[in-house]
Amino acid sequence: MLPSKQRAALLSACLTLAVAGTGLIMSTTASAAATRYEAEGASATCDGFIESNHTGYSGTGFCNANNAVGAAAQFTVTASAAGQATLAIRYANGGTANRPADIFVNGAVAHAGAPFDLTGAWATWVTKTLTVSVNAGSNNIRLSPTTANGLPNIDYLDFEANGVSPSPSASSSPPPGRPAECTGTSPIRCNFAVSPGNYTVTAWIGDRASAGNTSMSVEARRRILPAVSTAAGTITQYVFTINVRQPEGQPTGQGGTGTPGLQFTFAGSAPKLSGLTVQPASNPLVVYLAGDSTTCDQMIAPYTGWGQLLTTHVKAGAVIANYADSGESSGSFLNNSALFPTMRPLIKTNDLVLIQFGHNDKQTSASTFRSNLTSMINQVRGRGGIPVLVTPPVRRQFNGSQLTPTALHVNGVGVNLPAEMRNLGSSLNVPVIDLTAKSEALVESMGPTNSAQLYLRESVDGVTDNTHFSEYGAGRMADLVVQGIRERNLSLVAYLR
């Protein structure tokens, strides 16, 4: 949709070096009046209904999203240059409680749990203002509620690009040029001959001569940076910490073992790379993932584990080390020499270990399930690490509008596996991220038809699978895990984008 109101007026323009997020930006700066994006327009989506039953709204209606965690309102906005922007969100909350929401910009959390306070009535509209960092070109702004109350009613989003900040970073450096380890143009592929371990990677995205659109992935389809658009003359410096393993995907080699070293893929519609360096990382916070096929680094598309997209949320200084493996139960992961016994000696003091099992514990008794998890918890603590239990994400199996007990991981011998994990966490003082409850709310809010896009579909993916995720679905699950990390105030919060 064309914005209903647009007062485009350049107020200033200058060449500037600045920092936005983790990157150095070199661009032409501009500031313009706000552009309005109506919630009912073609540039917006609503996980619910467009309604007009309360007065005082702008345009032809407003978004009344479903009352569920993650039932979002989204806007696609356009910025003339990368840098800071102001979001003015007009909303009404005539309920009985604040309705907080995570504000995502291009898939990364810009504001966690932003409050949308009571307005007194559903016909009383107020405006909430936030500042975010955006890319040049198209940007996705998503308002994702963090409670079962859902969002307030959303009328519109006013978007105003403020230009980039004029204060350069002392750590910024000019792009060194593309290294010899990189070949190709679309995609650009790079291979650095390094040993397994953790590495600090600096990438200069963009080009002085031409516009670009570039995404960045490493190793076994681990997404590090969603596609970002850069104008000609704009180069953004990004810094990440990357974990290198061999085999690089699943620890047992399912789907292939990959290539030794560290591989990069720069894709997008017009990938631009002006520099790339790799150096050993100095004592990062490591977040180990112990789980199954819904979590693991899947080598072969379209299958995608949420651990592959959790990396898009993490800044330099912390790193995701994904030891999840397809087909594993709590017992097989604990005892397979390639899995927990390999991961355990690597754990350092204060490292996090996220433990998610249940999908493959189909015939596991309650006592055995608790025993397996307790053994992992105690061994992680013995290394000085911090164990975190993550209940398994739901399967897409409906009875009417509700998920079945099997979908909610009540197994073949009647054990409610998520409940066992919650109780164990309480008794052993272990943080629990209830991904079962969070994904149940998301899947049921989307319904039997719309929730199919979270999983694999024959029409899109060439296979129908109501357990494993599409890339979109894995991203939504990663969002929910990040939400749980924030709720539990785990140490990774300091390193979340």
Q: How far apart are CA 144 and CA 398, in angstroms?
A: 24
pTM: 0.69
Contact between 75 and 157 under an 8 Å Cβ cutoff? The reply is yes
CB 278 within 8 A of CB 198: no
Segment 27-45 shows an average pLDDT of 69
DSSP string, 293-351: TTTS--SSTT-B-HHHHHGGGB-TTEEEEE---TT--HHHHHH-TTSHHHHGGG--TT-
pLDDT per residue over 422-479, tens digit each? 999 999 999 999 999 999 999 999 999 999 999 999 999 999 999 999 999 999 999 9
Domains of the chain, first to last: 13-163 (2.60.120.260), 174-282 (2.60.120.430), 284-497 (3.40.50.1110)
CB 213 within 8 A of CB 137: yes
Question: Is a pLDDT exceeding 70 seen at residue 23?
Answer: no
The order of strands in the sheet holding 432-433 is 318-322, 285-290, 352-355, 386-390, 432-433
Distance CA 194, CA 311 (A): 20
Task: State pLDDT tens for residues 386-434.
Answer: 999 999 999 999 999 999 999 999 999 999 999 999 999 999 999 999 9
Average of per-residue pLDDT values in the chain:
88
Whether 233 shows a pLDDT value over 80: the answer reads: yes
Secondary structure class of 412 (helix, strand, coil): coil
Residue with tokens 């393993």: 245
DSSP, res 210: S
Of 58-62, 164-168, 268-272, 437-441, the least confident? 164-168
Q: How far is CA 398 from the centre of its chain?
A: 26
Q: Which two tokens stand for residue 253?
A: 């080699």
Q: Which residue has the higher pLDDT, 20 or 122?
A: 122
d(CA 497, CA 491): 13
Among 134-138, 463-467, 492-496, the range of highest mean pLDDT: 463-467
CB-CB neighbours of 326 under 10 Å: 22
Dihedral angle, C-alpha 68, 69, 70, 74, nearest 10 °: 60
C-alpha–C-alpha distance, residues 332 and 52, integer Å: 54
At 386, the amino acid letter reads: I
